[in-house]
Amino acid sequence: MTKRRQPGSAHEALDRMFDGIGERHGEKGSPTEGVRVVASFLDIAEPTLRKQLDPDQKGSEVSYARVAQLTRHFGCIEAAQHLALCAGGVFLPLPDGEGKFAELSSTMMQEVGEALVQLSASLSPTSEGGASLTPREIATVLPLVADVLAVTSALYSELEAAHAAKEDAFDEVPPNVRRLRE
């Protein structure tokens, strides 16, 4: 895409999405290839797609269903990031892959999300204690935070063990790991 959109707008999110598609799926890996790649996938003419993407064209837009279709097919995260920001949050994609690191990372993200949801609800002005936590709210949140710590510790231990097993291959132990060992 060449016409930059207003930062934070839906059109800017689409612009980033199409740039990403071009970078990841274009023949040359160029952001400018996104429209061509998508037009080919959708079996529509590039000018038709460009018109749908132009915020100055009234009555011709890319539908939400189309954005969902492109997100699924091309593995785009840009639209999800935009929607999460609109809702006052952030989007964190789950790790892609298999094995203990991906599984622990996914579990950790899920546990963090659950703890943050409960903590945010407990700190809501409409909650039992308003902006302060009551003993009952603390009792509800505390086990969720403990779950976060447990899975984070498990992930750390696995990463530490994997690093120690391969430490001989490194000239120097990373400073953050060295500090933790001291």
Q: What is the pLDDT of residues 127-159, one digit of tens each?
A: 998 889 999 999 999 999 999 999 999 999 988
Confidence grade of residue 174 (pLDDT, cut at 50, 70, 90)? low
CA distances from 4 to 25, 33, 42 (A): 21, 15, 23
Cβ atoms within 10 Å of 43's Cβ, excluding its own: 6
CA distances from 168 to 137, 159, 161, 176 (A): 48, 15, 13, 17
pTM for this one? 0.58
Task: Map tokens 């890319």 to a residue.
Answer: 62
pLDDT of residue 175: 57
- ∠ CA 84-111-148, nearest 5°, is 125
Assess contact for 22 and 31: CB atoms under 8 A: yes
Assess contact for 28 and 37: CB atoms under 8 A: no
Instruction: Report d(CA 8, CA 66) in Å as an integer.
Output: 20
